Chains A and B, each alone.
Chain A
C-alpha cells in the first residue's frame, strides 16, 4: 500500500511538472502600408493574446486607409488632390502630419515628408525606374519642401506649390507606436513583437530569451537577410533605413529610394544604412531617413546633440555605433567583412 501512495505522489508531481506556465502566443502575417508585417503576441491568457493581435492588425489596416498615398480613397490622397486648397482632416491624420513636420524641422529638412514627387519621377522599385534629366529633377524639386505644408490649426492643412505629403517615412513607426499602446492597454502580462516591414517594436519581455530582451539584428547591406550587429532591447523600437532594398543599378552606379531633398538625387554620401533605437518608433523612423541624408559626420553630431541611439554602416564596411547604444549593442559583422568601429 505504501508503494501505491508513493506512486500516486509521483503521478501528481509529474502532472505539476508538465503544467508549467509558458505564456500562450498568437501570431499573424499580413500585408499593410505596402509592406509585409508579422505581429506576435504572448499572454498568460490565450484569448487576450489573440484578441490583442487581432486588434493591432485591424488598427494598422485602419491607419493604412487613412495615411496611404497609394490608396486613392484615403484621407491623405484627398489632401494631396486638393490643388493647394485648405483641407480639414481627421485628428489622427492631422497629428501624424504635424509629427512629420516636427521631425522635418528637427532634422533641418534632411527628413522631408514631401519627397514623394521625386520617388514618382525616378520610379525606383517600379517597372519604369530610370535616371531622369536634370531639367526634370529641377522641375520636380520645386514641389519638394516641408515648409510647403501649412498647418492652419483646427485640423486644417494646406499644401503650397504643388507639394504632396507622403507619410511613408513615419507611417510604420506611427503604427508600431500604436501597436505598443494597444498591448500596454491589454495588461501588464502582455508581451509582443511587432515587425512592421523593417520597423520593429518589442513590447514587454521576450518569453523566448533567457534575459527577457528582444534581439534585433541590423541587416547586412549586402545580404539583408542576415545581420551584422544585434541590438538587445525591451519596450523599444529598432528601425533601419538603407540603400539596399529598393534600388536599381545603371552604369555601375546604385540609385536607391532615399532622396536628398536638396539635390533631388538619391543620397550619395558613403552611408549604406542607419539604425535608430528609440521608445518612439515614429521618431526613429523619421530619424533613420534624416540621419542617412545628413551623412556620417553630421549624423553623429546630431545624435550627440539630441541623445539619439544610432548605428551607422558605411560603404567602406565600417559599423559605427553611438556611445549611448553600446550597452545594448553586439557586433557580429566579422564574418561578413565588417569593421567594428566603435
Chain B
C-alpha cells in the first residue's frame, strides 16, 4: 500500500530537519547584533531601518515650521539638528543600543532602537 513508510521518507524528514537547522545556525550565532531603528511621527511609523556598519542615511521630518534632521551612521542614530524651541531631542544624544529612545515633543517624532540584546528596559531621565 502507498501508505507504508519507505526508507526515502526518513531521508525526506532528515533533509527537512537539516534545512531547518541550517537556517537557524546564522541566527544562533549573531542574534544580539541585530538592531532596528524605528522612526515614528505621531501614530505612523515613518521608517524602519535595519542598522548595519557603514550604512548612512539622513531623514528629514517636518511639522509646521519645525524641521528635525535625523542622522543614521552605521549602528548609531541621533537627532543631528532641530529648530524646535526645547532642543530635548538633540540633547538626548546618540542612540547605539536596543531599548534607547529619543523624542521630539513639538514634532511628535520618536526614534527608538529595537533589538534582542536590551541591557535596560527603560531609561530614567
Contact = CB atoms under 8 A, between A and B. Distances in A.
Contacts of A220: 93
Interface string A193-211: 1010011101000101100
Contact of B124 (A199, A206, A332): A199
Given A35-B105, A126-B86, A246-B88, A208 B121 contact: yes
Contacts of B108: 31
B118 interface: yes
A36 B105 contact: yes
B37 to A, nearest CB: 12
Interface string B49-73: 0000000000000000000000000
A230 to B, nearest CB: 6
Interface stretch (A61-69, A114-122, A237-245): A237-245
Interface residues of B, number: 31
A224 B85 contact: no
Nearest to B96: A226
Interface in B68-124: 78, 85-88, 91-97, 99-103, 105, 108, 110, 118-124
B124 A218 contact: yes
A227 B120 contact: yes
Given A36-B110, A226-B100, A246-B86, A217 B93 contact: no
| Range class of the A interface residue count | 35 or more
Given A202-B121, A217-B119, A245-B125, A225 B95 contact: yes
Contacts of B119: 215, 217, 227, 230, 332
Contacts of A224: 91-93, 123, 125
Interface centre among B88, B91, B99, B125 (most CB of A within 10 A): B125
B12 interface: no
Given A222-B93, A246-B86, A230 B101 contact: no
Contacts of A273: 125
Contacts of B100: 225-226
A273 B41 CA distance: 29
Contacts of A248: 87
A193 B120 CA distance: 12
Q: Which 3 pairs show the lowest CB-CB distances between chains A and B?
A: A223-B93, A219-B125, A217-B120
8 contacts: A200-B122, A216-B123, A223-B92, A224-B93, A226-B95, A227-B120, A230-B120, A238-B124
A177 B103 CA distance: 23
Contact of A214 (B91, B105, B110, B121): B121
A225 B124 contact: no
B97 A125 contact: no
A225 B93 contact: yes
Nearest to B116: A208
Nearest to B78: A225
B5 interface: yes
A248 B103 CA distance: 18
Nearest to B5: A3
B124 A125 contact: no
Contacts of B103: 36
Given A29-B40, A125-B85, A225-B93, A215 B120 contact: yes
A129 to B, nearest CB: 8
Interface centre among B40, B91, B108, B124 (most CB of A within 10 A): B124
A34 interface: yes
A193 B121 contact: yes
A273 B124 CA distance: 11
A297 interface: no
Contacts of A251: none
Given A224-B91, A225-B93, A217 B122 contact: yes
A208 B124 CA distance: 19
A198 B91 contact: no
A29 B124 contact: no
